[in-house]
Amino acid sequence: QALGGSLGWMAPELCQKTAIPPRASADVFSFGCLMYFVIMKQGPFCTRTRTEIITAHRAKRRLPLVWSIDGLSLIGKALAEQCMDPLPLVRPTMREIMRVLDTWPQKLGVSNLTAPSLLTPHGTTLNGEGCEDSLLNWKAGMQILCSGTADMLSTRTRRSREFTSPTEPKHFLPGTGLRTLMTQLSPGLSLEEEGEEEDAAPGGDVEMLVYPRGFETPFQSMSRSLANMACHWNFKLPKTSCCTFHAAMDLVPDIYKEIYTWCCMDVIGNMEQCRSCGNMNVVDLKECQLCLRSFEAANREAKKK
């Protein structure tokens, strides 16, 4: 069930001209709006007009939010804004959110409301003075957040898909239900303006694309795909890491060295390319795994151009 049906609580992908069926990630966006409401005591877009909200959502552009400077806002801001990311694939899952929320009462020192020492998700200690009102409000807010999360866990499931090669073990691709708790990667970037196939330079050797009928995948799409996969791993977190995302990125070079020694393979499966972001997708999917754009709608727009 969606947490909110009004425009001020609706996920951006549900406001597109091409209708997209609601998924669990849409509830995550609404849940982020609820977190903002609990912390700030007002809706995230209450000062915005309908036109401003719709325009920003259709452009996949983040609307700036106003936060206070108390300890509760400093701790809740990162998770709430990740939930409200314009790109569904970047949002965390409800299970990931629940794991984070379960640690907050201890970090906030809710049992002792006399100016506790606050610990941010990155391990930074903040001065708790002046946060008593926020902490009192937090006890009531946590009941709302946790009960809402439990409802989502009971009604939503996640799925994943995989492809195999004749010579190598199975390699898993993230499904549309898998979301990540990751650092924001160019949230205002519109990949629909990129990806036009360039004419080959006359003379000299012409480099062949892996999928000749398509266009070269933009660097931003490749970066986001790699980061998304890395954030699905469960690994030992070094004490010196600034965050989970960059700790995962530190593993990539060693993994690359191992993968590079594998046998050569030219074909990894029957693939189809998204005309919106340039990502390659398994053909039995009806939408892009990176931008969640419908293949059918993207192909129609490409033919019109």
- For 134-196, the DSSP string reads HHHHHHHHHHHHHHHHHHHHHH-----EEE--SSS--EEE--TT---------TT--GGG--P
Cβ neighbours of residue 243 closer than 8 Å, sequence gap 6 or more: 121, 122, 183
The predicted structure's pLDDT at residue 18:
73
Answer whether residue 203 is part of any domain. Answer: no
12 vs 52: CA distance, rounded Å: 12
Answer whether residue 151 is part of any domain. Answer: yes
- The domain in which residue 270 lies consists of 161-193+211-304
Within 69-131, residue ranges assigned H as helices are: 71-83, 94-108
pLDDT band at 271 (very low <50, low <70, confident <90, very high): low
Answer whether residue 201 is part of any domain. Answer: no
The predicted structure's pLDDT at residue 299:
63
Q: How many Cα atoms are found within 13 Å in the side-chain-facing hemisphere of 50? A: 3
Q: How many domains does the chain have?
A: 2
Q: Are 151 and 166 part of one and the same domain? A: no
How do residues 36-68 score in pLDDT, each as one tens digit?
988 888 889 988 888 888 888 888 888 888 888
pLDDT band at 103 (very low <50, low <70, confident <90, very high): confident
How do residues 169-185 score in pLDDT, each as one tens digit?
333 233 333 233 233 33
pTM more than 0.75: no
Q: Are 260 and 295 part of one and the same domain? A: yes
Q: Are 56 and 189 part of one and the same domain? A: no
Q: Are 82 and 167 part of one and the same domain? A: no
Answer whether residue 2 is part of any domain. Answer: no
How big is the CA angle at 229 (ends 227 and 234), to the nearest 5 degrees?
Answer: 105
What is the share, in percent, of the chain residues with pLDDT greater than 70? 54
Give me the mean pLDDT over the 238-253 stretch. 82
Give the DSSP letter of residue 205.
P
Single-letter residue type at 254: D
Q: Among candidates 288, 282, 287, 258, which has minimal Cα distance to 268?
A: 282
Answer whether residue 206 is part of any domain. Answer: no
Q: Are 16 and 151 part of one and the same domain? A: yes
Q: Are 151 and 181 part of one and the same domain? A: no
pLDDT band at 266 (very low <50, low <70, confident <90, very high): low
Q: Are 176 and 140 part of one and the same domain? A: no
Q: Are 175 and 271 part of one and the same domain? A: yes
Q: Are 248 and 180 part of one and the same domain? A: yes
Cβ neighbours of residue 136 closer than 8 Å, sequence gap 6 or more: 113
How big is the CA angle at 277 (ends 272 and 282), to the nearest 5 degrees?
Answer: 25
Answer whether residue 229 is part of any domain. Answer: yes
Give the DSSP letter of residue 8.
G
The predicted structure's pLDDT at residue 143:
54
How do residues 113-132 score in pLDDT, each as one tens digit?
333 333 333 333 334 444 44
Kindly give the pairing relationship between strand 171-173 and strand 161-163: antiparallel
210 vs 207: CA distance, rounded Å: 10
Q: Are 107 and 85 part of one and the same domain? A: yes
- Asked if pLDDT for residue 148 goes beyond 60, the answer is no
Q: Average model confidence (pLDDT) for the chain? A: 66
Are the CB atoms for 4 and 10 separated by under 8 Å? yes
- Asked if pLDDT for residue 163 goes beyond 50, the answer is no
**CATH number of the domain within which 121 lies:** 1.10.510.10
Q: Is 7 buried (19+), middle (13-18) or exposed (0-12) by CB count in 10 A?
A: middle
Answer whether residue 130 is part of any domain. Answer: yes
How do residues 12-33 score in pLDDT, each as one tens digit?
888 887 766 778 888 899 889 9
Answer whether residue 205 is part of any domain. Answer: no
Q: Are 86 and 170 part of one and the same domain? A: no
225 vs 207: CA distance, rounded Å: 23
Least confident of 37-41, 83-87, 150-154, 226-230: 150-154
Q: Are 71 and 170 part of one and the same domain? A: no
- Asked if pLDDT for residue 162 goes beyond 50, the answer is no
